[in-house]
Amino acid sequence: MTFSSSSQVPTANGSRYLQQLCKHWRHNLAVDFTAHAGTVTFPRDARGADWPGDARLVLLAHDNALECRLEASAAGQLDALKGAVARHIDRFAFREAPLAFDWHDEPRL
């Protein structure tokens, strides 16, 4: 079962924040990114966790927004990652933080 949520974060600096976040996390997570799109995989056992499966973050930079989409294996994993993503991006966006993360949970697959 997959738990998913997405957010369109209003910012003119989506590409910058996407690249900063991906560079930050590539030191200890599987990350693939360009200036306009990125994917981060969070292992099921990251930081001592024991989730049913890995989670994934997909980032897409648009002219006026950063699109964030999370897919997780459990509701608790999804909720924890929503907070982690928002906190990390807000650190990079300190000049305009806090950014508006309006997460929209999607039906379970």
Q: Show the DSSP H helices in the chain as ranges.
A: 14-25, 75-92
Cα Rg, the chain, nearest whole Å: 13
Q: Which residues of 10-31 are buried (b: 16+ CB within 10 A; e: fewer)?
A: ebebbbebbbbbbeebeeeeeb
Token output for 34: 């360009």
Domain 3-106 has CATH 3.30.310.50: yes
Residue spans per domain, the chain: 3-106
Q: Distance between CA 95 and CA 77 in Å, rounded?
A: 29
Q: How far apart are CA 100 and CA 7, in angstroms?
A: 9
> How do the pLDDT tens digits run along the chain, 109 residues long?
799 999 999 999 999 999 999 999 999 999 999 999 999 999 999 888 999 999 999 999 999 999 999 999 999 999 999 999 999 999 999 999 899 999 999 877 5
Would you state the pLDDT for residue 108? 72
